[in-house]
Amino acid sequence: MAELTQTDLVYSPRWNVLVNWLDFFYQFFLKILRAFAHNPLLYASYSTKAIADGFKPLSVIELPEITAESPIAVEIASEVGEVSSIQRLTVVLDLDETLVSAYETSSLSAALRTQAIEAGLKWFELECISSTKECKGKPKINYVTVFERPGLHEFLEQLSQFAHLILFTAGLEDYARPLVDRIDAKNVLRDRLYRPSTVSTQYGDHVKDLLSASKNMHRTVIVDNNPYSFVLQPLNGIPCVPFSAEQPHDTQLLDFILPLLKQVSEVEDVRPALYERFHMPEWFEKHGIPRSCWTSSQLPEPK
Tell me the CATH number at 244. 3.40.50.1000
Q: If pLDDT is split at 50, 70 and 90, which confidence band does 88 have?
A: very high
Mean pLDDT (the chain, rounded): 77
242 domain residue, yes or no? yes
- Residues 293 and 285 sit within 8 Å (Cβ to Cβ): no
252 domain residue, yes or no? yes
pLDDT at 85: 74
pLDDT at 86: 87
Q: Which residue has the higher pLDDT, 165 or 5?
A: 165
157 domain residue, yes or no? yes
On the question of pLDDT at 37 being above 80, the answer is no
246 domain residue, yes or no? yes
DSSP tag of 253:
I
Q: Which of 120-134, 135-149, 155-169, 286-300 has the lowest mean pLDDT?
A: 286-300
- Residue 184's domain comprises 89-100+149-293
Total tally of structural domains belonging to the chain: 1
pLDDT at 179: 97
Q: Where are the alpha helices (DSSP H) in 6-64?
A: 6-38, 44-54
- State the average pLDDT over residues 24-32: 51
* pLDDT tens digits, one per residue of 180-221: 999 999 999 999 999 999 999 988 899 999 999 999 999 999
On the question of pLDDT at 9 being above 80, the answer is no
State the pTM of this model.
Answer: 0.70
228 contacts: CB under 8 Å, gap ≥ 6: 203, 204, 207
249 domain residue, yes or no? yes
212 domain residue, yes or no? yes
- Residues 190 and 166 sit within 8 Å (Cβ to Cβ): yes
254 domain residue, yes or no? yes
111 domain residue, yes or no? no
